Amino acid sequence: MSLLDYFRSSKKNTASTAKERLQIIVAHERRRRTSPDYLPQLERDILEVIRKYVDIADDQVSVTLEKSSDELSVLELNVTFPEDKRG
Amino acid sequence: MAKIIVVTSGKGGVGKTTTSAAIGTGLALKGHKTVIVDFDIGLRNLDLIMGCERRVVYDFVNVINGEANLKQALIKDKRLDNLFILPASQTRDKDALHKEGVERVLNELSDEFDFIICDSPAGIESGAMMALYFADEAIVVTNPEVSSVRDSDRILGMLSSKSRRAEQGLPGIKEHLLLTRYNPERVQKGEMLSVDDVNDILAIKLLGVIPESQAVLNASNSGQPVILDADSDAGQAYLDTVSRLVGETVPFRFLNVEKKGLLKRIFGG
């Protein structure tokens, strides 16, 4: 890097942005890979039901199925409500 | 019994064929009888990279369909006695490769050779699935770039669920990461994912790092696998990679920026 470049380089470090984005999407896709095929449709259906009552965005519902042992799987449903839509 | 190694990536243009040619040639240089099989049906290119495009008579699909035998289809490398190429066909029929046919050809090759290198097409269609199905080991070629890393992770998922080893409950495919087109200057400036970054995300064993190099284009222009350019950085990095593949311990090179003189540092260049 030349001296001129040094004074110019106030840009954000894009490599760290890339790493953060990848960590999130890869973790998400790995979870999906190991979950049953019906899960995305289940997630959409749940979203539709909640939308009858509260206006929420697509990414405010997450459904995961985790296998905790050979005989037991836990379906976890996470819904984030917007601040002003509560109650 | 040959060891079957697939060179795969998901994403196109990351250096699968360059890597297949380099690693196959490198194994032959080390004295192992090696064949490189082009699985990219319809988009044959390994022949060009190996410099034998004018010598293709019969191809992989001809052998599967019984229109030629293996001896007729295998092309012997002009530089190395123990190196052979099985070219892909230029047919547009995507389903020309089927499991039974591929298995029969690989079994036959397995009796003759020490290593079978399967050069996979890009994507996750049937050609790519055929290339990885029978593999014992996989070299996942990745560029330090978001879409390539994501696609590599996808392919890792396929390796562990869609391969013969997975279906038959055998020990899994041994996975190796090969990072190509690596540019230490851009990594240092924070413009490119580092080896450690990619390793953190994919979490498989690092086999090699090939620096971005002018030698690669020069090699493909002239139909010489880049590993034969032993003076070049990319050639040396591939030689190291092949040594690691056969179990030698070799330190990693070309990961850091070469030190520049004071004048260069001030004025750039």
What is the ipTM for the molecules in this complex? Answer: 0.84
Tell me: pLDDT of B172 over 90.
yes
Residue B179: what pLDDT?
A: 98
Set of chain B residues whose Cβ sits within 8 Å of the Cβ of A19: 193, 197, 200-201
Structure tokens at B221: 């222009």
Mean pLDDT of B155-162: 95
Mean pLDDT of B9-32: 97
Of residues B150, B192, B269, nearest to A25 (C-beta) = B150
Residue A84: what pLDDT?
A: 64
Set of chain A residues whose Cβ sits within 8 Å of the Cβ of B154: 29
List pLDDT tens digits, range A62-79.
888 877 777 888 888 888
Residue A56 burial (10 A CB sphere; 0-12, 13-18, 19+): middle
Mean pLDDT of B90-110: 90
Contact B267 A9 (CB under 8 A): no
- Give the mean pLDDT of chain B: 95
Tell me: pLDDT of A48 over 60.
yes
pLDDT-derived band at B17 (thresholds 50, 70, 90) equals very high
Full set of structural domains in chain A with CATH: 24-81 (3.30.1070.10)
Mean pLDDT of B160-170: 94
Whether A32 contacts chain B with CB within 8 A:
no
Whether A67 contacts chain B with CB within 8 A:
no
Give the mutation candidate from A14, A19, A30 for the B interface (greatest B CB count, under 10 A). A19
Lowest mean pLDDT among A35-39, B117-121, B158-162: A35-39
Mean pLDDT of B135-151: 97
Q: Which amino acid is at B226?
A: V
DSSP calls for B162-204: SSHHHHTTPSPPEEEEEEEEE-HHHHHTTSS--HHHHHHHH-S
Closest CA to B182 of B216, B226, B227: B216
Contact A15 B190 (CB under 8 A): yes
List pLDDT tens digits, range B176-229.
999 999 999 999 999 999 999 999 999 999 999 999 999 999 999 999 999 999
Q: What is the dihedral sign for C-alpha B2, B7, B24, B256?
A: negative
Tell me: pLDDT of A9 over 60.
no
